[in-house]
Amino acid sequence: MSRNPRDTQGSSRKITRRAAVLGGAQLGFMGILAFRMRHLQVDQADQFRMLAEENRINMRLIPPSRGEIFDRNGLPIARNEPAYRITIVREDAGDVEAVIARLARLIPLDPADIDRAMSEMKRSAPFLPITLAERVSWEDVSKIAVNTPALPGITPDVGLSRFYPLGKDFAHVVGYVGPVSDYDLSKIDDPDQLLRIPRFQIGKVGLEAKMEEQLRGSAGTRRVEVNAVGRVMRELDRQEGEPGANIQLTTDVMLQNYVQARLGDESAAAVVIDTTNGDLLAVGSAPSFDPNLFVRGISVSDYRALTQNDHRPLAAKSVQGIYPPGSTFKMVVALAGLEAGVIGPEDTYWCGGYLEVSNRRFHCWKRGGHGHMNVTGALRESCDVYFYELASRVGIEKISDMANRLGLGIRHELPLSAVAAGLAPTRAWKREVHGQDWLIGDTVNASIGQGYVLASPLQLAVMTARIATGRIINPRLIKSIDGIEEPSGSGESLGLNPRHLAMVQGGMYEVSNNRKGTGYGARIIAEDMRMAGKSGTSQVRNITAAERAAGVTSNEDLPWNRRDHALWVNFAPVENPKVAVAVVVEHGSGGSSVAAPIARDITLQALYQGDPPLDAYPSKDRDRIAEQQERLRALRPDLSREAKSRA
């Protein structure tokens, strides 16, 4: 059957149009593909080249060396030392268990470390090194080096680890470092990438924590070439980071050691401050602990022993502990009264053994009373009734203002953990905190450093330094950072009347040097080293009227934790004060009998910069002091290694 020519022509035109449309579509697709290929290969070539390079080249952080800490004479308190560790690479070792067994015959391995390493190997790539043992001795490293052919995959490695050569002496000042925890990271908004490096350590408490950023330094970097599975093939280049800053403290290693040794097993604290510039020469808390235990990873038993000790060895009592200052607060009340014009040099109050206020008797420590007392005699014999009378006339506001002026009730800025502010209470404070009005009985209690008044040993030392000099002495712990001196702690005048200041200083002198003085038994005999001091005994329990009538129970008959705190403050030499000292012995019973002898010994050690001559002590004490000096000398650190390294 023949087709109509007209139909044939129409069909051809349709095919031609379809071919044209299809060809156009194909050309359009090819054009789009070509444009896209050009965009990827030309326009975005640099971006994809960079991505490919990042797959091949990685940046790795290099931890900086931590800044070291020295005392005022350049002796090391916290330093870095080489720490050897043993690592194993699973794919190089082959039979891992057999290799570890051979290694265990050469050096001691902790089974717990082996179990941990085996667990890590199961979670990690076979080419990654896993730590088997840390803090390995050089002798053990040498054994491994000699037996390398028999120990495939085993490699000794070396890094830097924190070390505290003086152990317990500076634990509460410097603190310690430890591995970064999730809790540490949660406290930082934008943590440094250094903190994410495995086993990287940061300051946990004390100066190590407060000066972390300066001590840490900044990381270096190294560029390494890696293969598809992340194995490092070679190092391309490296840029070293900046080491942490070295910090020099104002403290003296030998004096700090003496303070800690002299405090012994007491639950106590002592602070020694240079009255000329505010330098803290010693900041002691007892008992103490070895910070190296925390660096290496403290055991559960060791940590439990610290936390369950009722003497609280982990607490930095010298700056964190706040105590009723007892009679050491009487200088504040005396100066407040003198400056307010409430009393003069010869004005007296009668002490009959007690003062009745609002139908309540406030007793003097001397049951029969002291009779007529002026300000000098009241300080010398620590007459409570005199200060009850004086405080009730002066008022708590003026007393609180004077306390602040002398450094009590305010927080001193130091790079230490939990520095306490103490408390110099006011009417407004009691209303705000307790929702109650201030009572005259509160003022009477405050007059002898009881009631709401609280102070730390640091604050008591600052108070004493300010009384000794009449100037604003601020405590300073850091002497220099990387050799750059920090500002002095010596400030301007307190603005107190010099005659009033001299009267209080004179009263403190008689405390230590007059036979009626409460601290006469702990006096200094050396004429040019005599001290002016004040004792304090603060109660930690209420004495009922019934107990007082029957006879107050002696401290010796009470459980340790119900005995009075013993306090003492002093400055010396009297004519030209160089140091101020504060000592608090928790539940030590008597300030004059317990705290004063400790403070006297520390004061002489600071003034003589070593063991003082025996003739500086009362003759009755010399045999005991000679024996004590010999015993404490045995506890002094051996600084020969440090001296040689400095030379």
Which residues are the active-site residues?
Answer: 327
d(CA 594, CA 25): 104
- Cα angle for residues 474, 476, 480 (degrees, 5° grid): 145
Phi/psi for 531 (5° steps) reads -115, 160
CB 613 within 8 A of CB 242: no
**CA atoms of 401 and 426, how far apart (whole Å):** 9
Which residues, 6+ apart, have CB-to-CB distance to 302 below 8 Å? 293
State the Cα–Cα distance between residues 57 and 48, nearest whole angstrom. 14
User: Which residues, in sequence order, are CB contacts of 46 under 8 Å at separation 6+?
Assistant: none
Cα dihedral sign for 204, 205, 208, 213?
A: positive
Residues 82, 284, 216, 485, Cα dihedral to 10°: -110
Q: Is 169 left (phi over 0), alpha (psi -120 to 50) or beta?
A: alpha
Burial 485-504 (b: 16+ CB within 10 A, else e): eeeebbeeebebeeebbebb
Closest CA to 214 of 473, 418, 486: 486
Q: Distances from the Cα of 90 to the Cαs of 97, 141, 228, 270, 521, in angstroms?
A: 10, 20, 19, 54, 71
Closest CA to 477 of 422, 420, 413, 417: 413
Q: How many CA atoms lie within 13 A of 623 on its CB side?
A: 1
Environment class of residue 274 by beta-carbon count within 10 Å: exposed (0-12), middle (13-18) or buried (19+)? buried
Length of the chain as a residue count: 647
421 within 8 A of 449, measured Cβ to Cβ: no
CA distance 44 to 17: 39
Residue 534 CB coordination number (10 Å): 32
**Chain centroid to CA 92: how far?**
45
